[in-house]
A and B are shown apart, each in its own frame.
Chain A
Amino acid sequence: AQSVTQPDIHITVSEGASLELRCNYSYGATPYLFWYVQSPGQGLQLLLKYFSGDTLVQGIKGFEAEFKRSQSSFNLRKPSVHWSDAAEYFCAVGARDSGGYQKVTFGTGTKLQVIP
């Protein structure tokens, strides 16, 4: 079974600073990987996804993530954070279970606070 770990529960960065949110996954083969963002009072919105090809993927709102198989990681980055990026971010991994179902497992989330 797959699993996802987001080791940082809460991160605070200054506006304009760079950001990296960590995500590690456990799965025996190449998984599908996702980053979602949840703004206060909102549902989850997909930021970006990886399932094959270039290991550096670009997403919406200036975010990018890099798949590193050797480290089982899929960290999310942004070079310059804006106050509107304050939200909770979820990493997710999709993989086939024994029944052939593409199951998606979510991490516990990282809450981002942006200070002026």
Chain B
Amino acid sequence: DADVTQTPRNRITKTGKRIMLECSQTKGHDRMYWYRQDPGLGLRLIYYSFDVKDINKGEISDGYSVSRQAQAKFSLSLESAIPNQTALYFCATSDWELSSHEQFFGPGTRLTVL
């Protein structure tokens, strides 16, 4: 089984709809992240969380919100989706105990906003 899972894997929605992307991990890591990937822009950090009580904005948080329901679950919400939020979204985890701070990625969610 995959260590970091994301649901759904693909989603098509319409402008103005509320969308939630979910991420679960079985790695036991304390830190979780949401990134979006756009062609030519690489990965950009949306939000990150060090534990269930610690949520931080990344470089492109406008239009997004997150919820850390448990150590293993981190959800990303688009309150009112717009077409320029069409992108590939990745969840990642890391562990403070790992001195290298390597991040482990889920398979991604491809979101299309029409």
The finding on whether chains A and B are genuine partners in a shared complex, rather than unrelated, reads yes
Residues of A within 8 A of B (CB): 9, 32, 34, 36, 42-46, 49, 51, 90, 94, 101-104, 106-109
Q: Is B15 an interface residue (CB 8 A)?
A: no
24 pairs from A and B in contact (CB 8 Å cutoff): A9-B40, A32-B101, A36-B105, A42-B107, A43-B106, A43-B108, A44-B92, A44-B105, A45-B105, A46-B104, A51-B99, A51-B100, A94-B101, A101-B48, A102-B101, A104-B45, A104-B103, A106-B35, A106-B42, A106-B43, A107-B42, A108-B40, A108-B42, A109-B40
Q: Is B56 an interface residue (CB 8 A)?
A: yes
A69 to chain B, nearest CB (A): 18
What residues of B have a CB within 8 angstroms of the CB of A44 in the complex? Answer: 43, 90, 92, 105
CA of A114 to CA of B23, assembled, Å:
33
Q: Which residues 58-101 of B have a CB within 8 angstroms of A?
A: 90, 92, 99-101
What residues of A have a CB within 8 angstroms of the CB of B43 in the complex? Answer: 44, 90, 106
- Tell me the interface secondary structure of chain A in the complex: strand
| A-B interface pairs (CB < 8 A), number | 45
What residues of B have a CB within 8 angstroms of the CB of A102 in the complex? Answer: 101
What residues of B have a CB within 8 angstroms of the CB of A106 in the complex? Answer: 35, 42-44
Q: Is B41 an interface residue (CB 8 A)?
A: yes
Given contacts A36-B105, A44-B92, A94-B101, 7 further A-B contacts (CB under 8 A): A44-B43, A45-B105, A49-B100, A90-B43, A103-B45, A106-B42, A108-B42
Contact across chains for B100 and A43 when beta carbons are under 8 A apart: no
Contact across chains for B101 and A104 when beta carbons are under 8 A apart: yes
CA of A28 to CA of B107, assembled, Å:
33
CA of A45 to CA of B102, assembled, Å:
10
Top 9 A-B pairs, shortest CB-CB distance: A43-B105, A108-B42, A106-B43, A44-B105, A106-B42, A43-B107, A102-B101, A51-B100, A94-B101
